[in-house]
Structure 1
Amino acid sequence: MRTQRKWRCSCSLVSFLVGFCLGLGEIVYVFQWGSLASNCLQNSVRLEMMQTRSHDTTDSRRDDFDITDKNQGLSFNGTLKREKVRILCWVMTQEENLASKTQMIKDTWGKRCDTTLYFSSNTDHDFPTIGLDIPDGRRYLFLKTCKAFDYIHKHHFNDADWFLKTDDDTFVIVENLRRFLQDKNSSSPVYYGQIFHRYVRGGYNSGGAGYILGKEAVRRFVLNGPSQAYCKRKRGSEDVALGKWMLWLNVAVGSTKDVVGKERFNWHNGFSIFAGKIPEWVKRYVGNNRTAYEPSNVAISFHYINSGWMKVIDFIVYHLTVHGVL
């Protein structure tokens, strides 16, 4: 009897350990993403500051900083205190996504921009959205982009220095975007995002990862760029079309890689990259360098984020406290 009881206890213990290990494996996989996200506003920023200081010891602005409140973003001290970077964020959405994806953006990162606008086919005064009176569908995306920038130039051009365009399944860490733009000049003809190296000489910025134009880039695109008639005729990828006009208007595609060559703007959500699965098409657009796929520790954006994960990422980045992390 004693031998049988020992045998039963051993089996129970083995079953428990097997179940525990399987469950732990699932948790570790999910929190691989969380580990990156929680670093974005704390020790990762600190790491970049140390790396940047070692690469450029002449920049006196990088002397001191701290993070006073994760809910309020970054608070720079001493020589890092500068005039606030004003960012207008505009989101391309559609009516069927308002209650899910777009609402999550409104509840999370959208409220951290200085001005946030939501463009859709029809006006919704309750949400609110700005109606462009254009049908939904990929074939109309460039026309929507043209009309959205035209609206922004007419009504909000003086409200911001930088103008960020995203899809409604993009998550943006606005504080890291502000940090990136602190030493950038919005009066220069430049726009930033994740560069894809196809179709446009010098490359263009991925639409899914989001791209941000300075005031001069917006001014040139609206005043000297495509006519509404051209925008109506243009079909195909909106980001490629915009990239071709940026090239024609002599607007530079600025690099957003960090000091170790990793991407701040990301066309992906991180899951496939962390799992080691790189889609073949990406290699034709980004290259074969492994760091070209890996998110930076000071990442700015992620794409293909569903409404549920919007809330999870927002919690991990802005509210989760990790004890023992320097």
Structure 2
Amino acid sequence: MFFVANSNFKTNNSYWYILKQTLQFIFFAISIFLCVRFLYIVVNEDAIYSRTFLKLVTNVHTSKQALSLPRRGNLFCFVMTSRKHHKDRVLAINQTFLRRCEYGIFYTDTDDLEEDIPYSSIFKSHTEEGNADFWKSLVALKHSYDNISSQYDWYNFINEDSFVLVENLKHFLKDFNPKIPHFFMFTVKPLMKSRYGSAKPNFVLSNEAMRLFSTKLFGNDTLCSYNLDSSIGIENCFKNAGVKTRNYGNSENHHDLGLSFDVQQSFNDKHNGLLRSAFINHSKQITNRFSQQLISLHHISASQMLTIELLLYHIQVSP
């Protein structure tokens, strides 16, 4: 009788031991799963945010002026902006170089602009959580090609503090085939050390490059992953897709000079006064750096855009 009871006790004890070990294992496995999931969310926060962000293009309003523009042509230009620049930069760009593109449009976050300004509120549903420039750039590229037109030869991404000489850009592009994937970035290298050396570059994509972006890169967190610097991030996306990227900066042998500083401030001693001292000393070193086929200027205010427009297109110097 004792042996039977002892045997039953051992059996029950083994049962509870196995149950305890099983529960501990399950608890341990769940803990590991939750930890791994937490780490995945932390490490891949940008990827998760991107999938959410890229789905938020809703309730888009497109102005009458934008709807009246041609759906095919040579150059499609778009400018990313926001409501805080509706009364200065947007008005200045609209009155100057944007109209020289066959299709020129602003992408913004509200629909309170006048209908005679070409705009689309594709960022209306987007929050400003975190640094969203990279994701907004992807949305702008996708919207341009898929929702507006896939029939343009070239697509020009323009920063809202830039002035583009469209005629020179078209002259530059005429030697390239838009049916081949091209990515041209017009970098900004300062001629002097100042805060103006951090301007974001503009870039131009061929029709084939845009097709690859739309079909292969958009929403692909592996090939097109987040980068805090949106320009570098976009360039890396196309590199990962096998597109050869050309980065044009200040060069004496190219007509693709991008200026990264405010020319007026460059004459001021507060910003090293490099241009100011050079002109006072009759130096040719600085003026030789300005190509006659200049394509873009950067860190330009609204008033400076209008001034440049006046000097280049409305004043004729008598011989």
Q: Which residue of 1 aligns with 2:169?
A: 177
Residues 231, 246 of structure 1: alpha-carbon distance in 2 compared, 3 angstrom cutoff: closer
Q: How much has 1:250 moved relative to structure 2?
A: 1.5
Q: Which residue of 2 aligns with 1:192?
A: 184
Letter in 2 for 1:131: I
Give the TM-score normalised by structure 2: 0.61
The 2-side partners of 1:151 and 1:318 are apart by 32
Asked whether the 8 Å contact 1:123–1:131 carries over to 2, the reply is no
Asked whether the 8 Å contact 1:89–1:110 carries over to 2, the reply is yes
Of 254, 257, 266 in structure 2, the residue corresponding to residue 264 of structure 1 is 257
Q: What are the within-5 Å matches in structure 2 for residues 61-210 of structure 1?
A: 86-124=74-112, 126=114, 127=117, 128-132=119-123, 133-136=125-128, 139-195=131-187, 208-210=200-202
Residues 319, 104 of structure 1: alpha-carbon distance in 2 compared, 3 angstrom cutoff: same
Q: What are the within-5 Å matches in structure 2 for residues 294-305 of structure 1?
A: 294-305=289-300
Residues 321, 99 of structure 1: alpha-carbon distance in 2 compared, 3 angstrom cutoff: same
User: Aligned Cα RMSD in Å?
Assistant: 3.4
Asked whether the 8 Å contact 1:192–1:213 carries over to 2, the reply is yes
Q: How much has 1:125 moved relative to structure 2?
A: 6.0
SS in structure 2 opposite 1:131? coil
Asked whether the 8 Å contact 1:146–1:231 carries over to 2, the reply is no
User: Could you say which structure has the larger radius of gyration?
Assistant: 2
Alignment coverage as a number of residue pairs: 223
Asked whether the 8 Å contact 2:224–2:237 carries over to 1, the reply is no
Residues 231, 305 of structure 1: alpha-carbon distance in 2 compared, 3 angstrom cutoff: farther
The 2-side partners of 1:102 and 1:145 are apart by 18
SS in structure 2 opposite 1:117? strand
Whether 2:316 is the aligned partner of 1:321: answer: yes
Q: How much has 1:273 moved relative to structure 2?
A: 5.9
Asked whether the 8 Å contact 1:90–1:116 carries over to 2, the reply is yes
Higher RCO, Cα 8 Å, sep 6+: 1
The 2-side partners of 1:278 and 1:137 are apart by 38
Give identity over the alignment, percent.
20
Residues 271, 294 of structure 1: alpha-carbon distance in 2 compared, 3 angstrom cutoff: farther
Letter in 2 for 1:225: L
Map Cα deviations across residues 267-307 of structure 1 (whole Å, 9 max, x no partner). Answer: 3344466779599xxxxxxxxxx88x933211111111111
Give the TM-score normalised by structure 1: 0.59
The 2-side partners of 1:248 and 1:85 are apart by 28
Residues 149, 261 of structure 1: alpha-carbon distance in 2 compared, 3 angstrom cutoff: closer
SS in structure 2 opposite 1:242? helix
Map Cα deviations across residues 94-127 of structure 1 (whole Å, 9 max, x no partner). Answer: 0110111011100111111000111112344634
The 1-side partners of 2:101 and 2:157 are apart by 12
Q: What are the within-5 Å matches in structure 2 for residues 261-300 of structure 1?
A: 261=254, 263-271=256-264, 277=272, 294-300=289-295
The 2-side partners of 1:228 and 1:124 are apart by 33
Asked whether the 8 Å contact 2:111–2:120 carries over to 1, the reply is yes
Residues 238, 299 of structure 1: alpha-carbon distance in 2 compared, 3 angstrom cutoff: same
Letter in 1 for 2:121: I
The 1-side partners of 2:224 and 2:90 are apart by 25
Letter in 2 for 1:266: L
SS in structure 1 opposite 2:132? helix
